[in-house]
Structure 1
């Protein structure tokens, strides 16, 4: 899908909210045996679907655009922070760690390796 095209049919192609699924009346409300409301109340409480849909549409109408703008700014900030701060810091860290690795290797090769080779030369003559 291109960036300038909004898919009005499949609005969650990556299943970001797949856990939410299709939330229906029976998924939320249920009366166990022995605890029942008056039949007309139970029948009329199916207005749950209507109110859920209406409230969702009203909330998205009044708040959705502002929230989308906020999230756009948030992800722009994250991108900016990564490009201009985190990635250069990681490069500095990588350069300094490379220098530390060279120094560590030099110290090991100059100080430790000759000593361990000498000890190895002594123990090579022991046999079972």
Structure 2
């Protein structure tokens, strides 16, 4: 299914003007094409800057004030607080950069292989099995209904009739 970001809306006026410039202006898309289909470098730079367009990792937007905070009653020196904030942000940024430099390519390759394996398994194993079940399901359903009507329904009916005559009185002594 295609997402809405790939759809292009065209505004068309039905005026009967003979001017050729008006014809060009009538069919102008209101949105730019997606970055992967655009040939300009500006669109690809914009696409690179938006690395989490769907907000998958919004929970990872952590700032110094989200982790460390001092109440008004107990306060450290202002310089200590400022340097702690600088140290926190620098350590977070550079640790992330170093870890991604070492781990990003191998983890992305492993993730790609994992998703390819899952897609292959789903396409070639799971979906054919589901289709076979859907094809055979009417036969199995009629067989199961016969088993239920012959064995299980009379058993449950007789058990209900046996237990239907039992009355339990609860009294407080």
1:52 maps to what in 2?
92
CA distance in 1, matches of 2:74, 2:114: 48
2:114 maps to what in 1?
74
1:88 maps to what in 2?
128
Per-residue Cα deviation, 1:53-99 (whole angstroms, up to 9, x for no partner) = 11111111111111111110110011011011100110111112122
Unaligned runs of 5+ in 1: 108-128
The answer to whether residue 76 in structure 2 is matched with residue 32 in structure 1 is: no
2:101 maps to what in 1?
61
Aligned length: 105
The answer to whether residue 76 in structure 2 is matched with residue 42 in structure 1 is: no
Unaligned runs of 5+ in 2: 1-33, 38-43, 147-173
User: Which moved further from structure 2: 85-94 or 42-51?
Assistant: 42-51
CA distance in 2, matches of 1:14, 1:46: 29
Residue 19 of structure 1 aligns to a residue whose secondary structure is: helix
CA distance in 1, matches of 2:55, 2:104: 19
2:164 maps to what in 1?
none
Aligned residue runs from structure 1 range 99-110, under 5 A: 99-102=139-142
Q: TM-score, normalised on structure 1?
A: 0.69
User: Which moved further from structure 2: 56-65 or 38-47?
Assistant: 38-47
Residue 51 of structure 2 aligns to a residue whose secondary structure is: coil
**Bigger relative contact order, structure 1 or 2, given CA contacts below 8 A and separation 6+?**
1
The answer to whether residue 49 in structure 2 is matched with residue 13 in structure 1 is: no
1:39 Cα offset (Å): 3.3
CA distance in 2, matches of 1:36, 1:66: 44
